[in-house]
Structure 1
Amino acid sequence: MIGVIADDFTGGTDVAVAFRRAGLRVLIQFGVPEVVSGNDGADVVVIALKTRTLPADQAVAQSLHAGRKLLDAGAKQLFFKFCSTFDSTPAGNIGPVNDALADMTGSSVTVVVPSSPSHGRTQYNGHLFVHHQLLSDSPMRHHPLTPMTDSRVPELLRSQTARAVSLVTLQQVHAGTEALTAAIAGLQNSGIPYAVVDAVESGDLATIGRVVIDHPFVSGAAGLAGGLATAIAERNTSTRKPAPLNDGSGHDGPAVALAGSCSARTLQQIEAMQAAGHPSFQLDAVAVPDSSLLSEAALAWYDEQPPGTAPLIYSSLPPEKLRESQRRLGVTASAEILETAMGLIARELVRRGVQRVVVAGGETSGSVVTALHVSGGLIGSEAAPGVPWIHTSHNGPLALLLKSGNFGDVDFLVQAVSPRTTVAV
């Protein structure tokens, strides 16, 4: 069994479906676990935390707790899943969590792979690209909590750990499994504990997966999970196949979209939803800096909407307005007001009979799942690559779709609130 620790909820669903596509049985749990069950035939258990922007010591403590629970449940390998855009600050949390989990598992060399080509994230010569742009030139440079102004992954990791970091180039990956194994073993013998590995396509990730299949600890984005799953499927020709992904359950009930991400793609998706005629309501923390009052206003507005309109409630702002809001309220206070409000809104909407909740933004997803007291669920069909429906129950059937801010096409929200939204995988 592989035990995965994800640093946010959307990252947890992303990595879960990467393993699920390969025919592995995947369970997902949300939040710091009391109990982890891996003895019911699960090949992968994902624990999705909300640690990406916590103080480093708290992120480490929660990650270590999750790691111990996974090892106790029978995990033979731990996988720390971080965002494919390496979302972090110089203080962490990728480096500190990697250090702690490497020590826990006795990993003498940890392979780190942020590439996820299916999402347009690739690494070449240590530089991370978002589609055709360097990370530092992409909209991620404006992220409100983790602005990414450097594209050099080895340097980003070095700023977060006192341990040595080395780059394994694409040329070394293309030399094949044996050569890559030797290159990583050479780093291990030299006492270098981190190997940041280039990858630009799925074949590169499969090669890396074959090399790290027996490592006690690996770290990376969902692309690495896909490569590792490919290697597992190759090794185990009798891999059990799960139930069909496109089960469709929970895809016809009343729907609502909640957007908190300020990413460029989410802003485009909001505009597309408005253009398609879906009613929308914006939460304005500057005008109403109170979570309860914001939620009450949004719910009163929702109650006035005609049935079946699949409305949108959002707090997303373009960069210049976001900076003004943060200047007037403070970065932390602004985020807390809006995230708390979104959680309150989600809880009351489900009480009103909403059965499909589409959420844009990792922090917002965490707030919604926490407010709904959803502990986990079954990974279902994908509405976009890496964005699966999660089927659970909350006073009745409930389908959740948790989307990272930058994921999905421009019409993602429009399609997601339509009945039976799936994507071929």
Structure 2
Amino acid sequence: MTDSLPEGLLLAFYGDDFTGSTDAMEVTAMAGLRTVLFTAPPSEEDLARFADCRVIGIAGTARARSPEWMAAQLPPIFDRLAALGPRILQYKVCSTFDSAPHTGSIGKATELGAAAVPPGWIPSIVGAPQLGRFQAFGSLFATASGRQYRIDRHPTMARHPVTPMTEADLRLHLARQADVPIGGIDLAEQASGDLSARIADAQSAGQVTFLDVACAVSQRAAGAMVWETSGETVFCPSSSGLQYALVAHWRASGLLPSDPPPLPRHAPVDRLLVLSGSCSPVTAEQIATAEDAGFALLRMDVLKAADPARAGAEVARIQDEMSKAFADNRRGVLVYAARTVDDPAYAALQTWVRSAGMPMATAQAGIGAALGQIALRAVPRFALDRVVIAGGDTSGRVLETLPVLALEVAHPLAPGAPICQCHATDPDFDGLQVVLKGGQLGPPDVFCQAMVPKAPCD
């Protein structure tokens, strides 16, 4: 299948959150390239176990971290991945590019990642039409409820509780976070013909160059620009738009088959646990749909979960409620922190953190850790075969709690949210299937579909 592609590692990436990492893994895995996602930097033994993989990723939590944390943690990871000799080294970012100078700085990560590879241009692909993400003339647009919004007017991302997007032009947005040359190759330039001189200028300047992607044609063009100009390892701070663009170029060039063998559909499970820390309206609709379908909904007390002195008792309460729900033959149990940022629980949390003098990020980390403890106890207690986690930061906190070494895509579910199989030394978690769903992704019945494929929820 990959005889025409160069031997060895094609792409290595560090994902700034777990849901985005599985999103990126899904694209190349569905294209027929074996892809593994580690939950922590792998050892030599770990790498040897997955030596035949053409794409390797490490899922992380940088999206919720400070620049100081990044400066301490990311260079060894980038150096480790670069030493594997991939054609492309990626810092995988969210397709909404939400970030800020103080939290999840894509600019800081870009400066650190570029230092791990030979000097050259730094192409960035963010648009991914498959996910409802479009970039035109440097500005990012995202779909919500069937409509396209400029990202700084998006009903969710413009109001993100930690990193609201207040600028749609990604060049201006990144310039607030990094002191590097920044430019772009827009749709008009792509249509004008030979771009070799333009790319050469970007390479000599070490420029971060945003490549517009708004359709299938521009997606293939962006993939070609990155792949055909990457003689040495090139660093790309990009969303899974990079993976989509590369696969589109490889297929158009005959390097990959257009129709690889499809992954099998998943089997139904008798019990499903869903854990949600997302405040997205998309997830809120999915929660409501699951409730209508008969899922037992358990609201977490976020004030207790965020308080280290009370979190243990709240986890125990949720476990008891979950046990009752399963005993009542409720096949699906959904534990959630809040529905949207307009949920009274979110307002109460804001008031509490102010009175406690606690940063909101610390409180959110505590909630994620509590959800992780729920999963850690529930999987063996209820013999769960599949767990769904909603929310990018939440997914990272939960997976960090579980004894899981690596993930591979096992089944398709929804674009950007596949069903993954866990590799672990603990027999309770080895083979466990997990879905890490970003807040903006998935159809209304995605939780129902995760339990029973193609099952209607009404």
Choose the corresponding residue for 1:342, options 363, 367, 371.
371
1:182 alignment partner in structure 2: 197
Deviation, structure 1 residue 286: 2.6
- Ranges in structure 1 where 5+ consecutive residues have no aligned partner: none
2:443 alignment partner in structure 1: 409
Query: Where do 1:27-176 residues align within 5 Å?
Result: 27-35=36-44, 37=47, 40-91=51-102, 92-131=104-143, 132-138=148-154, 139-176=156-193
Q: Using a 3 Å threshold, how does the CA distance of structure 1 residues 60 and 228 change in structure 2: closer, same or farther?
A: farther
Instruction: Indicate the SS of the match to 1:97.
Output: helix
Query: Where do 1:10-25 residues align within 5 Å?
Result: 10-25=19-34
1:301 alignment partner in structure 2: 321
2:244 alignment partner in structure 1: 226
Distance across 2 between alignment mates of 1:175 and 1:23: 33
Instruction: Indicate the SS of the match to 1:4.
Output: strand
Q: Greater shift after overlay, 65-74 or 47-56?
A: 65-74
Distance across 2 between alignment mates of 1:140 and 1:184: 32
Distance across 2 between alignment mates of 1:307 and 1:182: 66
2:221 alignment partner in structure 1: 207
Distance across 1 between alignment mates of 2:72 and 2:379: 32
Choose the corresponding residue for 2:393, options 358, 363, 366.
363
Choose the corresponding residue for 1:327, options 324, 328, 351.
351
Q: Using a 3 Å threshold, how does the CA distance of structure 1 residues 54 and 287 change in structure 2: closer, same or farther?
A: closer
Q: Using a 3 Å threshold, how does the CA distance of structure 1 residues 22 and 419 change in structure 2: closer, same or farther?
A: closer
Which digits, 9 at most, give the CA deviation of each residue in 1:323-355, with x for residues without a partner?
A: 441231241342133111101100111011111
1:395 alignment partner in structure 2: 427
Deviation, structure 1 residue 13: 0.5
Deviation, structure 1 residue 231: 2.7
Distance across 2 between alignment mates of 1:194 and 1:278: 46
Deviation, structure 1 residue 71: 2.8
Distance across 2 between alignment mates of 1:20 and 1:6: 16
Amino acid at match of 2:221: T
Which digits, 9 at most, give the CA deviation of each residue in 1:348-386, with x for residues without a partner?
A: 110111111011001111121111121112212221012
1:354 alignment partner in structure 2: 384
Q: Greater shift after overlay, 254-263 or 74-83?
A: 74-83
2:235 alignment partner in structure 1: 217
8 Å contact kept, 1:116–1:222: yes
Instruction: Indicate the SS of the match to 2:443.
Output: coil
Amino acid at match of 2:329: P
Distance across 2 between alignment mates of 1:107 and 1:11: 27
8 Å contact kept, 1:269–1:413: yes
Deviation, structure 1 residue 192: 5.2
Deviation, structure 1 residue 86: 0.6
1:381 alignment partner in structure 2: 411
Which digits, 9 at most, give the CA deviation of each residue in 1:205-228, with x for residues without a partner?
A: 211111111432222111221111
8 Å contact kept, 1:126–1:152: yes
Distance across 2 between alignment mates of 1:308 and 1:317: 21
Q: Greater shift after overlay, 94-103 or 192-201?
A: 192-201
Q: Using a 3 Å threshold, how does the CA distance of structure 1 residues 238 and 286 change in structure 2: closer, same or farther?
A: closer
Q: Greater shift after overlay, 352-361 or 71-80?
A: 71-80
- Ranges in structure 2 where 5+ consecutive residues have no aligned partner: 1-8
Instruction: Indicate the SS of the match to 1:5.
Output: strand
Distance across 2 between alignment mates of 1:71 and 1:241: 31
Q: Using a 3 Å threshold, how does the CA distance of structure 1 residues 21 and 225 change in structure 2: closer, same or farther?
A: same
Deviation, structure 1 residue 234: 5.0
Distance across 1 between alignment mates of 2:372 and 2:453: 24
Matched, 1:315 2:337: yes
Deviation, structure 1 residue 28: 1.1
RMSD: 2.3
8 Å contact kept, 2:151–2:165: yes
Distance across 2 between alignment mates of 1:241 and 1:5: 28
Amino acid at match of 1:316: A
Deviation, structure 1 residue 181: 3.6
Which digits, 9 at most, give the CA deviation of each residue in 1:53-85, with x for residues without a partner?
A: 111132244332222222333423211110011
- Superposed structure 1 runs of 4+ greater than 6 Å apart: 238-243
Instruction: Indicate the SS of the match to 2:96.
Output: coil
Distance across 2 between alignment mates of 1:231 and 1:246: 25
Q: Using a 3 Å threshold, how does the CA distance of structure 1 residues 416 and 32 change in structure 2: closer, same or farther?
A: same
Distance across 2 between alignment mates of 1:59 and 1:97: 7
Amino acid at match of 2:136: Y
8 Å contact kept, 2:152–2:165: yes
TM-score by length of 2: 0.85
Distance across 2 between alignment mates of 1:238 and 1:416: 29
Deviation, structure 1 residue 172: 1.4
Number of residue equivalences: 417
8 Å contact kept, 1:25–1:241: no
Amino acid at match of 1:72: A
